[in-house]
Amino acid sequence: MGQEAPTERVLLEMRGISKGFPGVQALDAVDFTVRRGEVHALMGENGAGKSTLIKVLTGVYRRDAGRVVLDGRPIDPRSPKVAEALGLSTVYQEVNLIPHLSVAENICLGRQPTRFGLIRWRAIARRAVEALARVDLAIDVAQPLSSCSIAIQQMVAIARALDVSARLLILDEPTSSLDATEVEELFSVVRKLRGQGMGIVFITHFLDQMYEIADRVTVLRDGRLVGEYETAGLPRVRLVSLMIGKEYVEAEAAPKAPPPKAAGKPPFLEVRGIGRKGAIAPMDLAIAEGEVLGLAGLLGSGRTEVARLLFGIDRAETGEVRVGGRPVVLHSPRRAIREGFAFTPENRKVEGIIPNLSARENIVLALQANRGAWRALPRRRQLEIADRFIRALNIKTPGPEQTVGNLSGGNQQKVLLARWLATEPRLLILDEPTRGIDVGAKAEVEKLIQALRAEGLAILFISSELEEVVRTSQRVIVLRDRAKVGELAGREVDERTIMRTIAGHEHGD
Amino acid sequence: MATDRSQRIRREWLAKLVWPVAALALLLAFNLLFTPGFFHLEVREGHLYGQLITILNHGAKVMLLALGMTLVIATGGVDLSVGAVMAIAGAVAAQLINAPGVPFPAVILAALAAAVVAGAWNGMLVGGFRIQPIVATLILMVAGRGIAQLITDGQIITFTDARLVYVGNGHLLGLPFPVTIVLAMLAVTALLARKTAVGLFVEAVGDNETASRYAGVSARTVKFMTYVFSGLCAGMAGLVAASNIKCADSNHAGLFLELDAILAVVVGGTALTGGRFYLVGSLVGALLIQALTTTMYARNVSADVAPVPKAIVIVAVCLLQSETFRRKIAGLVRRRPA
C-alpha cells in the first residue's frame, strides 16, 4: 500500500470487503479507495461486483467482512438513510424520483422542512433553487418533474443528492439514457463538484466517458479486485482485457470454419441503415443461411437493442430490412415470426418463459400462436412435440407437465430454444443464450447452435463472453457506445482483434 | 407415463377444487343438521322444487357471470361492468318484446348483441388502449345503468311474453331453464378454452404478457376477446334476471353481482393476478355464495346482516387457499405439542 496517496487526501477507504449470497461470493476481500477531489471510476463486466460494492457502501446490504472508513472515522451504515446522513449520496441509473411531483418536492422529498408539523412550501422552493444552483441549473422548481428532459431529471437527482451535504457522490451509470450534449452538461457539473473537493464514484460501461472524466479507475472482476490504476497511464486495450480477464496474448488462434457455401445467393437477412434514436445508430448487417453472426461489445453497447429491432419489438426509425431479397417491415414480433424469425431474449425470466405453465405449454406456444387460436394442436401432438424436444435437447425435467418455473436456468433456456425450434425458424436470434446457466448446459447449447447452423439456419449470436463469440461465429460485428464500429470475418475473428475493436483501435495490425 | 401425466393434471385441478367444495359441503351439512326441510325435494307438475334447486336456480346469474369473469381474470384483468351490462341486455329485451312485429329470436339476439358491444368497448379500452382494467370497466359499470335508463326511457318496463318469461322461470327436463343455460354455457366455454388454443393463450398472457407477445401471441386480441365473451355472459345473465321478475329494472338488475362473480372466481381458485384458470371452480364458488344467501333466507337471518356471515365464510376459503396461511397454521399446530 506504499503507492497510496497521502492519507490526508483519502476520503473513503474500504478494506477487505466481502459479501456472499447463497451460492455466490459477490465480493471477495475487495479494497476501494476514493480521494478528495477526484472522480474515481468503478469498472467491470456484469456480475463483477460493482453494484454489490456500492450497495454495501450505502447500507443496502450489510457486509460480511471488511472495514469502511469515511473521513478517518469507521462507519457501518445499516440503511441507505443512515448512509445518506453520513454524507454518502447515490444517484442511480434509472432516475428514481417521482415524475408527477414538482421539481422542488422531489428535491426535498422525505426531508421537507416543517413548522408545527405543517410543510413550509416556501422554504421547500428556496432550498430547491439553492440545490439546483449547485449544479448550474436554473429552472422553474414548481413544474412537474415529468415535464423535464431525462438529462434535467438526472441533474435534479444529483441536486437532490447534494442537498444532504454530501461528501461522496456515487453516480451509478448516470449517462446511459443521455445523449452526447447532455453527457457534456453532466460532466461539467461533475468537474465543478470535483473542484470543490468532493469525492465522486462513477460507474459506467462507456469507455470513452470513463477516459474523459475519471482520474482513477478501480477494476473488479468476478467479485475480486483486479487493481487500481491512473486512467492516464492505462491503455484502453489493457483496461478491456483487465475487465474481461483475458490477456490478448492468450487468445487462441482457432481455425475458423470456412464461410458458408451459398456465395451466389443473397443473404437470408440483409439490413441497411437500421437504427433508432437512443438505442443504436444506423447500421448494416447481413446473415446468410448456415452462418452464425456474432454481436460483440460491452454491456450497454447496443447488442440487445439490435436484436429488439430485428425482432420487431422496437420499431426501427431508419433503414430497410430484406428477407431473402424481399423488403419487409418488421413492426411486431408476430410479423418477424411470420418471416421465420425466432428470438430468445437476454432476460429469460421476464421476457422468455411463462413460469406457471408447463414445459409442454411453453414449448408449443410459439407454434400454436403462429397457427392461430382455432387450429389447435391436439393434446397428443403437443405431447409428441414436447417429448421430442425434451429428448433432443436433453431437457432435464420430470416430465412435459412440469411447471417451467421449477426448472433450472439452463433447462429453461432449452425450453425456450425448443419453443422456437418447434416453429422451424430460418433465423435464430440468441441474446445471451448461455447467461446464468451452468457449464455443462452451456456447452450443450453451444453444440446445439453449431448443429443448427449446419442444418442451414441463419443465427445471430449475442454474448458478452468474447471467447464464446469467437468459438461460435463465422463473422462478428463489434459494437461500441450504441454504434457499429467494426465487422470482422474469417481469420480476423479472434478475441484480440475484437478487444482492440471494442477499445477503439483500428483492427488488424 | 401417459397415466402419470393425466394424474398430474387432475391433481392440480382437484387441489384447487378441494377448498371451495369442502366449504360447500360443510355448509350443506350444517343445513342438513340444523335447517329443517333444507334437503327436501319434491316433484310438482313434473318439475323439481326445493331449497337445493333454488340454490342452482338463483345461482345461475352469478354462475353465468363467473364463466366470463374467469377468462377475464385469467388474463390479469377484471370486469366490473357485468352488472350494468345485465341491465342493458334486460332493457333491450324488454323494449323489443313489447314492440310490435319483432320476432322473438331477434329480441334475444339484439339483447345479446348489445351486451357483446358493451364487452367490445371494455375490450377495446383494455386491449387496444392499455387502460387499467379496473378503470376501463368502471366506466361502463357507472355509465351502463344510465344507458339502460335511456333505452327504457327511465321506466320499469314490464312484459308478459311467455317465451321471454320462460327464460328465467321455465323448466326443461325437470330442471329450471336458467340451470340449463348455465350447463350449456359451461360446455361451450370449456370447449372453447380446452379444445381450441384460447385457453393456452389466455393463461400465457395472464402469466407473462411480455413473453407471450414475444412468442407471437397477440395479447391485445386475447384480452379483447375475453371482455367480449364476458359481455356475452353478462347479456345472458341479464336476460335471466329480467325474465325472473318479468320486467327490466335498470336500477336494480344485476346490482352488485359483479362483486359476487369476482368472488366466485377467486374462491374457485383462479388468482386475480392472472394465469391458470378453473371454470368448474368458479361455478362451485358461485354456488357457495348462493348457498350462503339461501341459507340466510332459510334461517330467517335479516337481509341487513346477511352479508356478515357470507363474508366470514369467503374470507375463510380464501385464507385456506393461501399457502402462506396454511404454512403458518401448520407451524402453529406443530409448535404447540413441542
Question: What burial class does residue A220 get, using C-beta atoms within 10 Å of its C-beta: 0-12 exposed, 13-18 middle, 19+ buried?
Answer: buried
Q: What is the pLDDT of residue B2?
A: 44
B197·A355 Cβ contact <8 A: no
- Give a yes or no: residue B331 inside a domain: no
- Give a yes or no: residue B311 inside a domain: no
A354 to chain B: which residues are within 8 Å by CB? Answer: 203-204, 207-208, 211-212
| Out of B195, B217, B275, closest to residue A365 by CB | B217
Each residue's pLDDT expressed in tens, for chain A with a length of 509 residues: 444 445 568 999 999 999 987 767 889 999 999 999 999 999 987 668 888 899 999 888 889 999 999 988 999 988 888 888 888 888 876 667 788 888 888 888 777 777 777 777 888 888 888 888 877 778 888 888 888 777 788 888 888 887 667 889 999 887 766 767 778 888 888 898 899 889 999 998 778 888 999 999 999 988 899 999 999 988 888 888 888 776 544 333 333 554 445 455 678 999 999 999 888 999 999 999 999 999 998 777 889 999 999 999 999 999 999 999 899 999 999 999 999 999 999 888 889 999 999 999 999 999 999 999 999 999 999 999 999 999 988 888 888 998 998 887 788 999 999 999 999 999 999 998 887 676 667 778 888 898 999 999 999 999 887 888 988 999 999 998 889 999 998 888 888 888 888 887 654 43
A219 touches chain B (CB under 8 A): no
Q: What is the pLDDT of residue B10?
A: 58
- Give a yes or no: residue B326 inside a domain: no
Q: Which is nearest to B57 in space by CA: B233, B245, B236, B244?
A: B244
- Give a yes or no: residue B139 inside a domain: yes
Q: What is the number of structural domains in chain B?
A: 1
Instruction: List residues in chain B touching A: CB distance below 8 A.
Output: 1, 4-5, 8-9, 195-198, 200-201, 203-204, 207-208, 210-218, 275-276
A403 touches chain B (CB under 8 A): no
Q: Which is nearest to A310 in space by CA: A459, A485, A473?
A: A459
Give the structural domain span for B224. 49-300
User: What is the chain B residue with the closest CA to A312?
Assistant: B214
Q: Determine contact, residues B38/B165, Cβ cutoff 8 Å.
A: no
Provide the chain A residues 176-195 that lie in CB contact (below 8 A) with chain B.
none
Q: What percent of chain B has pLDDT over 70?
A: 95
A311 touches chain B (CB under 8 A): yes
A384 touches chain B (CB under 8 A): no
- Give a yes or no: residue B69 inside a domain: yes
Residue with the three cell numbers 470513463: A210
Q: What is the pLDDT of residue A421?
A: 94
Q: What is the pLDDT of residue A93?
A: 66
User: What is the chain A residue with the closest CA to B210?
Assistant: A351
The mean pLDDT value for B276-281 works out to 94
A374·B210 Cβ contact <8 A: no
Q: What is the pLDDT of residue A2?
A: 41
Mean pLDDT of chain B: 90
B200·A365 Cβ contact <8 A: yes
Q: How far apart are CA A218 and CA A136, in angstroms?
A: 29
Backbone φ, ψ for residue A35 (5° rounding): -100, 165
A354·B5 Cβ contact <8 A: no
Chain A and chain B share a number of CB contacts under 8 A equal to 84
- Give a yes or no: residue B250 inside a domain: yes
- Give a yes or no: residue B84 inside a domain: yes
Strands (E), chain B: 41-44, 47-50, 157-158, 171-172, 175-176, 247-248
- CATH code, domain with B258: 1.10.3470
Q: What is the pLDDT of residue B196?
A: 93
Interface mutation target, options B208, B225, B226, B228, chain A, most CBs of A under 10 Å: B208
Residue with the three cell numbers 351502463: B144
pLDDT, tens digit, 9 for 90 and up, residues B29-51: 998 888 888 888 888 887 888 88
Q: How far apart are CA B201 and CA A369, in angstroms?
A: 8
Question: Could you tell me the three cell numbers for B327?
Answer: 404454512
Q: What is the pLDDT of residue B303?
A: 81
- Give a yes or no: residue B43 inside a domain: no
DSSP for A261-320 reads S--SSPPSEEEEEEEETTTEEEEEEEE-TT-EEEEE--TTSSHHHHHHHHTTSS--SEEE
Between B284 and A24, residue with greater pLDDT? B284
A390 touches chain B (CB under 8 A): no
A374·B197 Cβ contact <8 A: yes
A383 to chain B: which residues are within 8 Å by CB? Answer: 5
Distance in Å, alpha carbon of B263 to nearest chain A alpha carbon: 22
pLDDT, tens digit, 9 for 90 and up, residues B64-80: 999 999 999 999 999 99
| Out of B4, B9, B204, closest to residue A365 by CB | B204
- The answer, yes or no, to whether residue B98 has pLDDT greater than 90, is yes
A300 touches chain B (CB under 8 A): no
A292 touches chain B (CB under 8 A): no
Q: What is the pLDDT of residue A505?
A: 60
A311·B214 Cβ contact <8 A: yes
